[in-house]
């Protein structure tokens, strides 16, 4: 087998072409990894908030909280089952109201959708990840609310110490900012369920219910009992399954767009790698002939040039991955296509993204290097020495 240092020396000698090709591959890996990190960010925002021992209850025929409604009587009937963890906050069942408002952006660039969630006083304890990061928690039974840190200050009046209207002369006063470990809840405003329902003209009507079960295995029995009760006309879903469906359209759009761009860039990078390797072969015909004369087989030459292409790709991949990690410092606002409200997405650098990016880079190296490597392996030692 041809020594690996031969390939390394070759790359060092051709610094300009090596740099250009590695830079192209680095750009592709950057885009590919960014798309993967974006996908992880969507999962963190929309799925991370879910618990396996919690179910969400909606009206039958509804796919999201916005399209659902239930009465307080229905809510009370959800509690009468042995699968409910009655020792949990709210007796294991909390009803919530979800509204979508269209306030003006703070920078005056237009309007956007804002999700406002009303919950009982125990609703905050129902989600143990909830933490006040500035200000204070709302006083139960008042028009005080807290804003998620992802949107604090993004909308006019939706920041600590200010107020905004649900309807004319129906103000909500922001008294604090909260975090929920980076989930999509950080893109919402939370307040008292009765105050928000009254302000929106939806008194005595809930959007959905959250039910804490005694354990995850109680799900099937609880679901069967609730959905079979004709008085309710409700459906039950695991919270993680519900959020997984919520994440689908947004993940598909953002991930598909990123992967499409990465695919186009990958074609260009593979072509660049092929041109680089072909150029290397053209300038090293005598070297290849000498290697063949020294007894190295066609397979050894083929393997050597494929290794060289892979090394080139990995150099580019490492550079791309170093730079893509800078994206973890940034976030951006996008639309949740299921709820039509804004959410904040953070780039997440998961180990799986790094591994898949390296594999993708190796694939690009093989794609760009296989044809030139075959060409090098076919060079005749006699013809090479004559040339």
Q: What is the pLDDT along the chain (387 residues), one digit of tens a residue?
A: 666 666 677 777 777 777 877 888 888 888 888 888 888 887 777 666 678 899 999 999 888 888 898 988 898 889 888 999 999 988 899 999 999 898 999 988 888 889 999 999 888 999 889 999 999 999 998 999 999 998 999 999 999 999 999 887 788 999 999 999 888 888 899 999 999 988 877 776 899 999 999 999 999 999 999 999 988 999 999 988 888 777 666 667 766 777 777 777 777 766 766 776 666 666 667 777 777 777 777 787 788 878 888 888 898 899 999 999 998 888 777 767 666 677 787 888 888 889 988 998 888 878 777 777 777 777 766 665 555
The DSSP 8-state label assigned to residue 168 in this structure reads T
Q: How many residues does the chain have?
A: 387
- In whole angstroms, what is the distance from residue 270 CA to residue 259 CA? 16
Six-digit token string for 176: 């604090």
| Beta strand extents in the chain (DSSP E only) | 54-59, 70-71, 93-101, 114-119, 131-135, 144-148, 163-165, 171-179, 188-192, 205-206, 208-212, 234-238, 331-336, 341-346
């Amino acid at each position: 087998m041809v020594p690996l240092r031969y390939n390394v020396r070759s790359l060092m000698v051709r610094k300009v072409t090596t740099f250009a090709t590695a830079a192209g591959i680095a750009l592709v890996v950057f885009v590919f990894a960014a798309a993967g990190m974006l996908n992880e960010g969507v999962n963190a925002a929309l799925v991370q908030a879910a618990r396996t021992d919690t179910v969400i209850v909606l009206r039958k025929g509804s796919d999201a909280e916005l399209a659902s409604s239930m009465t307080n009587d229905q809510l009370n009937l959800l509690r009468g089952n042995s699968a409910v963890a009655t020792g949990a906050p709210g007796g294991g069942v909390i009803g919530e109201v979800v509204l979508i408002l269209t306030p003006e952006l703070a920078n005056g660039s237009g309007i956007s959708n804002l999700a406002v969630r009303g919950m009982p006083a125990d609703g905050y304890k129902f989600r143990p990840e909830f933490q006040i990061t500035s200000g204070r928690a709302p006083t139960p039974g008042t028009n005080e609310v807290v804003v998620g840190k992802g949107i604090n200050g993004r909308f006019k009046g939706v920041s600590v110490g200010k107020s905004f209207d649900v309807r004319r002369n129906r103000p909500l006063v922001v008294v604090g900012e909260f975090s929920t470990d980076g989930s999509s809840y950080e893109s919402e405003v939370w307040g008292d369920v009765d105050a928000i329902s009254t302000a929106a003209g939806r008194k005595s009507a809930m959007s959905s219910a959250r039910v804490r079960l005694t354990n995850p295995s109680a799900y099937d029995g609880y679901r069967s009992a609730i959905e079979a009760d004709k008085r309710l006309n409700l459906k039950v879903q695991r919270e993680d399954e519900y959020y997984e469906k919520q994440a689908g359209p947004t993940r598909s759009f953002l991930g598909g767009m990123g992967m499409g761009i990465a695919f186009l860039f990958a074609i260009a990078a593979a072509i660049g790698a092929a041109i680089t390797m072909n150029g290397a072969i053209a300038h090293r015909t005598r070297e290849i002939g000498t290697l063949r004369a020294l007894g190295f087989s066609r397979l050894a030459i083929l393997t050597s040039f494929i290794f060289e292409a892979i090394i080139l790709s990995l150099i580019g991949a490492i550079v791309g991955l170093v730079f893509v990690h800078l994206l973890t410092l940034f976030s951006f606002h996008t639309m949740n296509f299921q709820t039509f409200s804004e959410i904040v997405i953070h780039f997440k650098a998961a180990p799986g993204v790094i591994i898949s990016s390296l594999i993708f880079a190796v694939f690009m190296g093989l794609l760009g290097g296989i044809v030139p490597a075959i060409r090098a392996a076919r060079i005749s030692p006699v013809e090479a020495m004559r040339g």
